[in-house]
Structure formats: structure tokens, C-alpha cells
Amino acid sequence: MSQIIAPQTDKPNMPPYEEVYRNFDWKEVEKNFSWHETGKVNMAYEAIDRHTETWRKNKVALYYSDAKRNEKYTFQDLKDLSNQFANVLRKIGVQKGERVFLFMPRSPEIYVSLLGTIKVGAIAGPLFEAFMEQAVRDRLENSDASALVTTPELLPRVPYKELPALKHIILVGDGEIPNDDGDTKFYIYQKEMNEASREAEIEWVDREDGLILHYTSGSTGKPKGVLHVHNAMIQHYQTAKWVLDLKEDDIFWCTADPGWVTGTSYGVFGPWLNGASNLIRGGRFSPDDWYATIEKHRVTVWLSAPTAFRRLMAAGDEKIKEYDLSSLRHILSVGEPLNAEVVHWGRRVYGLSIHDHWWMTETGGMLIANYPSMPIKPGSMGRAFPGIEVAILDNEGNEVPRGQMGSLCIKAGWPSMMRKIWKNEKKYNEYFQFPGWYISGDLATMDEEGYVWFQGRDDDVIMTSGERVGPFEVESKLVEHPAVAEAAVIGKPDPVRGEIIKAFVSLREGLEKSEELAEELKIFVRKGLAAHAAPREVEIRDSLPKTRSGKIMRRVLKAWELGLPTGDLSTMEE
């Protein structure tokens, strides 16, 4: 295991870990919100409107930046605009509990629509802009969405004539309203907004009412529609405060798209519940544009994903010297395992540890994290958030000894836990097969101090010569090799060993593949990790198949390798 790194942040919001873990009570966090007095609540009010009753009224809530637009919105602006959008939805007849889907590129309008949807008590369904027709159809069909906000450019991917539940389409941006005799009614966003009042009644809802429907990333199979409720705000608020460590003058940049849960729980709700300033950047990843964004906006807290950090690492350390990144004070990573190598690299080039943390679409908010107030262990996802009980269980639901690999499980009942898999109760129940526990589907170990170490997905574990090997440790070892940018490891059936380990790797910029390098990588893992964990086959590829949220799709590599059907590819990058 890697060495321990002491905390670096001055005066973190979170008190010393052991102290708060012992005394924490979610009931105390609840007292921050209006239902404590009224019994009713609304996420959009708590995240936005509430701040307009204080000096934060004119504080910038949203800095938006892309190749064409550079805009600022105060909390008051977002209150007014989301009121207008709420009035648009009311005018066209959208009711509480209906699903309103948002399918558009990152833009201020997507945030306004999201907040307005929530204000009328409807359930928001954000979709990633790169989805193609089948992916859009699946989600609109599964959710019976009644309204959709999209753009004229994306409309051709919406088969609205075949979606009987879809009654309204609101178009953002210039374009013609399609001329047809279908049952769907079209509206122009800007025209409707111009006509709508800035005053709106908020739909005060119950804490258990639906807030947002997010589809999972599709890394392990067909994406699931995960329903979250307004109650989740308790968790969003407290985790953003302690893990993101947001303070009044921070400029926070979450690079995730709102089509994925990170892009709403921590791109919208968590920061705004804390009254923080959010930076949203449109457009695609490029090392130069990203560093320029940090420099230009003086970003202080930065949340991104391992795939981005690995790509920045592959782009070379020289690049970093071209930019002034001195505003950064806290960096976080989520979504995939963060190789220890990347944490060490971060310390070298940014002078900051990258703080890994773990959660899932289904969990709605962070559950395990490395905190600014706690020493971190590179390669570990950290320790349970206060109020959260984590256990590593065997197949019967019994706790395994510390250090042994088992199923990563959480004591059920945290505030942001999913309330439903949309129209799939059977799937929902599969998460709760051990009474009282939520089964994540991930494998992990826990050390004596309660730090959790990710090993792989349940489906991806490899049985080779009687040993269980988690793909992550093999992949991390491969990434330590100076030639390797990314690695994915699968088990391949073998008559003698049960399975053998096959590794797929992509190389750092400018390097050529060769047989010698493949051999060298096998030896590198054998010597650096263990003989049984060394890949017997190494295939060097130009790239690895990934979800659009940037996760390596091991199941696709496996299907290709074994000549099996690849399953649902709706979330795969081109």
C-alpha cells in the first residue's frame, strides 16, 4: 500500500474525521432547510431562491463559458429565469410528478430549465447531448416523458412521432418549428420566456416527492433509470460542504455534464445549496482549453474524473507550465478508480493531492471520500462519510476480515439513496438482497483504519488459477509504466487456469506499439505486483472503448475478445 499523505488545505470546513464520524446526525443537517418548519420543501428554492433573501442575492451563482458565450448569472437572475421557465411549463400544462426531459448541449438554458422543472414539482430527466436516436428513444419511452426541452440541431434524434406520451417539445435556439400533423406541440423557448412572468409560485413538495431521474452510465449493461427525491438535498448539502470544501469565495468547476449524476448532484445542487459560485464550461475536453479555463476563471476547487486526469497526464507536464494554475486549492476525482500513480503525479505538477471519492448514480451522493481534513492514502477511495456505514461482505452477507476482498455494501437509509429503478422493481430489489444493506456491485477491501480500496466491479473480477484478482490493481500497475496512458484488464476463459488475464492498453502521446513493449509490460506487472496477476496477453490499442461519461467498458472488450454480443452500446463513445 502506498504512503500516507497529510492534509494540505488550510482550515477545512470539516472538523477532524474521527470526531465528526462519532457524533454526526443527519437530523441536524435537515435543520438547514425549510421543511424543518413548514413540512414542505423544494430543491430549487433551497438551492437558488433562498439565497436571494440574503446578501448573496447579487453574488454570481453561474459563470458560463464556451467558444461563443461568456456569461454570468447571479442567484437573483437564476431565480427570475427559473420562475419564468416554471411559468412556461405551467402554461403548457405540465403537472407535478410528470417527467420533463432536457436534451441539449451544456448552456445556461439547461440549468434554467432544470430549476424551472423542479419548481413546478415535475421530475427532471437530463440527457447527455451526444446521445443518438436509440438512446434518446429508450429513455423517453421508459420514463413516459411528457415534455422535452431540446435544440433544433438535436431534434432529428428525437423520434417524437413514435413517442405517444411526449406531448410538448420546447426548442432552445434559432430554428423552425417542424411542420407536421403529429400530436406533439412545439414551442420556442425564447418566445415563451419573453412572455412569462418573473414571479412564480413554487410547488412545495414532500421530501419524498420525485426530483430527478438519471440513467446510469451503462458500463456494466443496459442503463437503469434511477429516481431521486428532494430529500437528497440533505446529503448534497453536507457532502459538498465537507468533501468539496466549498467556501464563500470559491470558484468551483465540476467538469461533469448534467446528463450524468455528478453533473447535477455536484454540478448544480451541492454547490448552490451552499451558496457557492459554479463555473460551467461548454465544449469538449482538450488539455489546453481546460488549463486556460482554470487560469481565466481563477478556479479554486476542481472536480473531474480519472479519465480526464489520465489524459492530462499523457499530454505531458510541460504543458502545465504554460498556464497559471495557482488559483487551485483543492482537486477531486470521481467516477472510476483513480490510480495511485495519478495522485502522485498531481502532487508533482499541481502541488495538490487529487482527492478520490466514491459513489454511484443509485446512491445520489458521495458515500466514501478522502477529506481535506484527513490524511489520504493514494489508491484508496477514502473512508465512509459521517452518518454512513460501509461494510465489506461475503456472498452470504457476512462481514469479511479486514484486508480481504468482498462486496462493497452500505447500511441502507442514507438521505440521497435512490427510491426507485424506474418501472423495474425487480432490479431495485436486487440491490437489497442482504436485509438492511445496499449492495453496490463493486468489490473492495477495507484496511484497519477504515480506508476502502476499490478492486473492480463484481462482473469484472477474474478467477485465475484459483485466485480472485480485481482488475484494478493490475490496471494500476500497468499505468505506472511510463509508456502506458490507460489500461483495462479482463478475464479470458482458459482450460487450465480457469481464466487468464488479458490486458488492453493505450500508449502515451507519440509512442509506437511493438511486440517488445507488450512483453515488457507483462514482465513489469509480474515483477511489480505478482506472478499470478500478470497478464498473459497484452494488446496495445489506439484507444479503449468508453462510455460517454468517460468510463472504460470492460464488458465490451470482453465481448469483442470472446466474439460474444456486445449488449447495449447506447452510451458508448464513438
Binding site for Mg ion (CB under 5 A): 216
Q: What are phi and psi of 406, to 5 degrees?
A: -160, -170
Least distance from Mg ion to the Cβ atom of residue 264, Å: 17
All three cell numbers of 377? 492514502
Contact map string, positions 459 to 488, toward ligand ATP, x by CB under 6 A:
------------------------------
- Which of 117, 293, 361, 570: binder of ligand ATP (CB under 6 A)? 361
Q: According to CB under 6 A, which residues from 371 to 390 bind ligand ATP?
A: 381
Least distance from ligand ATP to the Cβ atom of residue 375, Å: 17
Decide: 454 and 337 in contact? Cβ < 8 Å. yes
Least distance from ligand ATP to the Cβ atom of residue 494, Å: 25
Least distance from Mg ion to the Cβ atom of residue 125, Å: 18
Q: Should residue 337 be labelled a site residue for ligand ATP when binding is judged by CB under 6 A?
A: yes
Considering beta carbons, is residue 291 or 453 the nearer one to ligand ATP?
453
What is the dihedral sign for C-alpha 466, 472, 477, 481?
positive
Considering beta carbons, is residue 46 or 442 the nearer one to Mg ion?
442
Report the C-alpha gap between 163 and 179 in whole angstroms: 17
Least distance from Mg ion to the Cβ atom of residue 237, Å: 24
Report the C-alpha gap between 520 and 515 in whole angstroms: 9
Q: Should residue 500 be labelled a site residue for ligand ATP when binding is judged by CB under 6 A?
A: no
> Which of ligand ATP, Mg ion, none does 445 bind, CB closer than 5 to 8 A by kind?
none
> Which of ligand ATP, Mg ion, none does 356 bind, CB closer than 5 to 8 A by kind?
ligand ATP
- Which of 7, 108, 210, 218: binder of ligand ATP (CB under 6 A)? 218
Least distance from ligand ATP to the Cβ atom of residue 220, Å: 3
Phi-psi bin for 313: left (phi > 0), alpha (psi -120 to 50), beta? alpha
Least distance from ligand ATP to the Cβ atom of residue 262, Å: 8
> Which of Mg ion, ligand ATP, none does 346 bind, CB closer than 5 to 8 A by kind?
none
β-strands 301-304, 277-281 pairing? unpaired
Considering beta carbons, is residue 350 or 431 the nearer one to ligand ATP?
431
Considering beta carbons, is residue 81 or 462 the nearer one to ligand ATP?
462
* Alpha helix (H) residue ranges in 269-383: 270-273, 287-297, 306-314, 318-321, 340-349
Q: According to CB under 6 A, which residues from 421 to 450 bind ligand ATP?
A: 440-442
Distance, first Cα to last Cα, the chain: 36
> Which of Mg ion, ligand ATP, none does 223 bind, CB closer than 5 to 8 A by kind?
ligand ATP
Decide: 84 and 193 in contact? Cβ < 8 Å. yes
Q: What are phi and psi of 230, to 5 degrees?
A: -60, -30
Amino acid letter, 50: R
Alpha carbon of residue 173 to chain centroid = 27
Give CA torsion, residues 89, 93, 94, 95, to 10 deg. 130
Amino acid letter, 268: V
Phi-psi bin for 316: left (phi > 0), alpha (psi -120 to 50), beta? left
Q: What are phi and psi of 3, to 5 degrees?
A: -75, 165
Which residues 6+ apart lie within 8 Å of 287 measured at CB? Answer: 311, 312, 315, 319
Considering beta carbons, is residue 113 or 455 the nearer one to Mg ion?
455
Stretch that binds ligand ATP, among 80-88, 194-202, 220-228, 509-517 (CB under 6 A): 220-228
Interface ranges with ligand ATP (CB under 6 A): 216-221, 223, 334-338, 356-358, 360-361, 381, 440-442, 454, 457, 549, 551
